[in-house]
Amino acid sequence: MGQSLDRQLTQAQTKADIAALGRQAATDKAYQLHINKNLRNTRKRPRGYTTPGPAKRDMSERDRLTAMAKARQKVAESPIVSGMIQTLAANAVGMGFKLAMTSGDDDYNREVEQRWKLAKDKLDIRGMRSWGQLLRLWFFRRFIDGDVGVWKIPGKLPEEGEPARSFLQTIESHRIKDVENPQDSGVLFDRFGRPKTFLLMPTADRKDAQRRPLPPKSRRIKATDMIFYANFPGERAEEERGTSNLLQNLNAFTDLEQIIESMMDKVKKEALMGIKFGMESAENGSIFGSDLEETKAGEDGKQRKHVNVVQGMNFHLRPGETVEPFESKSPNGSYDPFIKLMLRMNGTNLGLPLEVLLYDWSGTSYSGGRMITESAKKQWRIDQRDLGIPASKAFEFWIAREIKHNGLTPPPKVLTKRLAWAHRWVTPGWPYIDPVKEVTAQGQALALGLTSHQNELDETGNGEDFEDLMIQREKESRIAATHGQTLFGGMPGQPILGTPPETEEDDEQ
């Protein structure tokens, strides 16, 4: 019985799809054979790249994915590597960035900040992460994978009286991919090198109307709807995708882990190397003493001397017996400095001093610790500025929808100057090393006009805004006044910084 034309066409299309997949598989296999034949270990490569390719790339797409997979494995398995990234995130991101509007209109600033405070922890489309957790997620994924995407998704317009929602969906690096061409970067560019389209690997198999499997196909997302946050360690001007920040450390991490593992095995094996038994001489000159040695016949009838030294393996010693164990000498005195040197070398590329990683300042003075911390802050500030860019893009996406759909109205003078989006991020600072010395220095700098209160809060606070601090202090002063108390700056029994102590003459006047 003949088949319908539609069924024949469907079968023909299915066969064509299968043939296309077979050709793609053959192409992938040939590429893998080429890589396996020509690729050598990174320590033996004579060039800075792995396979010949366009000058705009430092490495092939396959090498980039390999580096990402190895970096993910290191973070998942190594407490040292995981601890390094956790420490960097704690210093650069902390609990998240706080919004401070700078439009020039105080009322508008307060309204936007209040709206943002209510909406920021609901931006995650999965509903599983707060704003601070999203920032840490982006920092981790950029650091480990090399790049991460954030898809700006406008929520459906709700019924009247309800606010319009804005959502952010984090796209991990391995999902930015053209499934039809695995060797491609997954990003399409215009003639100026600007991204115009991102290709996202589907999370589920595609099926037709009859629920039959279809060939996988990437979803196309316009670049205007995507925030792309990438790491470019080599600073190549035309590099298409970011590279894992751990790439340069992968071999060094492996060496460190092997050394620690080898030493642990050695310590375990040398926990008890041997036991030395001794015996004091008896009064008659016998080594063992007459009560401890005897001569008797064995099973073969021959006479042999028997000496009773210990009772079993519990070493129940008799008078005159001694036992001395041979203990392990591993690790020796140079092992600890050597491991710390390797940790310091691994942290150098990441901008992480050994003292910060180990929380151990015993080997340095106050001045040395201050110098180390100030040097590390330079890298942490760079990380904060870099993370502030995708954070600002997310904020601008949100506030644009607030103005368009949720009744947020900027004042005319703000619109005229195009300051409706003007803002800055109050980032977490770092605590004092010696509070007395540093607060005194801050007071002198403020007195000379060399800094501002906000700058000092940014340096040492936990994402605190000076205006919010003043409002809180005013509130606390009012509460204290109702209880007959007075709040003042400075330490109990000490004058306020910059204020001369009172004298008896002052009191008389």
Q: Where in the chain are the domains?
A: 341-499
- In sequence order, what are the beta bridge partners of 199? 220
Q: Is the pLDDT of residue 259 over 60?
A: yes
Tokens standing for residue 255: 């060496």
Q: Are 315 and 325 in contact (CB under 8 A)?
A: no
What mean pLDDT value characterizes the chain?
A: 78
Phi, psi for 448 (deg, rounded to 5): -85, 0
Band (401; pLDDT cuts 50, 70, 90): very high
Count CA within 13 A, CB hemisphere, residue 61: 17
Spatial CA neighbour of 459 closest among 437, 431, 434, 489: 431
Whether residue 300 is predicted with pLDDT greater than 50 in this model: the reply is yes
CA distances from 447 to 429, 444, 458, 501 (A): 22, 5, 18, 17
> Is the confidence at residue 108, as pLDDT, over 70?
yes
pLDDT of residue 286: 58
Q: Could you report the per-residue pLDDT of 333-384, keeping only the tens digit for each?
A: 788 889 988 999 888 888 899 888 888 888 888 788 888 888 898 999 999 9
DSSP string covering 455-481: HHHHHHSBS--HHHHHHHHHHHHHHHH
Give pLDDT, residue 289. 52
| In the predicted structure, residue 41 carries a pLDDT above the cut 50 | no
Residue 503 has pLDDT above 60, yes or no: no
Average of pLDDT values for 433-447? 77
Q: Using a pLDDT cut of 70, give the percent of the chain over it.
A: 71
- Is a pLDDT exceeding 60 seen at residue 473? yes
Percent of the chain at pLDDT > 90 equals: 30
Dist CA 467 CA 312 (whole Å)? 78
In the numeric block, which tokens belong to residue 135? 């920032």
Beta strands (DSSP E) in 29-93 are none
Q: Which residues contact 265 (CB under 8 A, 6 or more apart)?
A: none
Of residues 238 and 169, more confidence is placed in 169
Question: Cβ distance 169 to 150 under 8 Å?
Answer: yes
Helix, coil or strand: residue 226: strand
More reliable by pLDDT, 64 or 332: 64
Residue 31: is its pLDDT beyond 80? Answer: no
Residue 139 has a pLDDT of 97
pLDDT of residue 282: 60
The C-alpha angle 219, 224, 225, rounded to 5 degrees, equals 50
Q: What is the pLDDT of residue 424?
A: 92
For residue range 147-161, list pLDDT tens digits in order. 999 999 998 877 766
| 201 Cβ contact partners less than 8 Å away, ≥ 6 residues apart | 174, 175, 176, 177, 179, 186, 216, 218
pLDDT of residue 64: 86
- C-alpha span between 352 and 373 (Å, rounded): 10
Model confidence at 7: pLDDT above 80? no
The CB density around residue 221, as the number of other CB atoms within 10 Å, is 17
